[in-house]
């Protein structure tokens, strides 16, 4: 049985509806997109990074011990999944950038991709990452 960690990034949102939305209620549609899932808004997530389980654990071990960033990333082993959103960008970007000097080339590639995804979230705060542990 193999295990891996998958980082999925929000790629788009749409409203689950059968009828076309009249132009006069388009603002309600935009508001619905902003407030979320309980109104029938569906998030489309796309896998952006996949790591083997053991390598994920080694990668996050390069983050400063006891730091908020490391605790955040340790949520995957603890809970099975975490969400990374706009509130985590600064903390995680700083931690992954600082850790690169002590990382293997593969870990540096993952950190580079992580920094790119964090930059995307910084540019558009509606974007987020869902990080999940998957077992075959």
Sequence-separated (6 or more) residues with CB below 8 Å from residue 31: none
Looking at residue 72, its pLDDT comes to: 98
Q: What is the pLDDT of residues 33-50, one digit of tens each?
A: 555 544 555 567 888 999
Q: pLDDT higher for 136 or 122?
A: 122
In the block, tokens 């540096």 appear at 108
Q: Of 111, 112, 128, 131, which is closest to residue 120 (Cα–Cα)?
A: 128
- How many other CB atoms sit within 10 Å of the CB of residue 46? 10
Q: Of 7, 3, 9, which is closest to residue 81 (Cα–Cα)?
A: 7
Q: For the chain, list the domains and their CATH numbers.
A: 3-135 (3.40.1760)
Q: Of 24, 107, 97, which is closest to residue 59 (Cα–Cα)?
A: 107
Q: What torsion do the CA atoms of 2, 105, 89, 46 make, to the nearest 10 degrees?
A: -40
Looking at residue 45, its pLDDT comes to: 80
Q: What torsion do the CA atoms of 11, 13, 16, 18 make, to the nearest 10 degrees?
A: -90
Mean pLDDT value across the chain: 85
Looking at residue 10, its pLDDT comes to: 80
């Amino acid at each position: 049985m193999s295990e891996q960690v998958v980082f999925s990034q929000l790629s788009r949102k749409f409203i689950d509806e059968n009828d076309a939305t009249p132009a006069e209620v388009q603002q309600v549609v935009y508001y619905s997109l902003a407030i979320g899932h309980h109104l029938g808004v569906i998030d489309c997530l796309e896998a952006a990074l996949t790591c083997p389980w053991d390598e994920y654990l080694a990668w996050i071990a390069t983050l400063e011990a006891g730091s908020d960033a490391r605790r955040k990333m340790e949520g995957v082993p603890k809970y099975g999944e975490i969400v990374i959103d706009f509130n985590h960008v600064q903390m995680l970007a700083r931690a992954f950038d600082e850790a690169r000097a002590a990382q293997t080339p593969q870990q540096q590639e993952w950190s580079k991709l992580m920094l790119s995804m964090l930059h995307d979230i910084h540019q558009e705060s509606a974007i987020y990452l869902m990080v999940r542990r998957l077992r075959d």
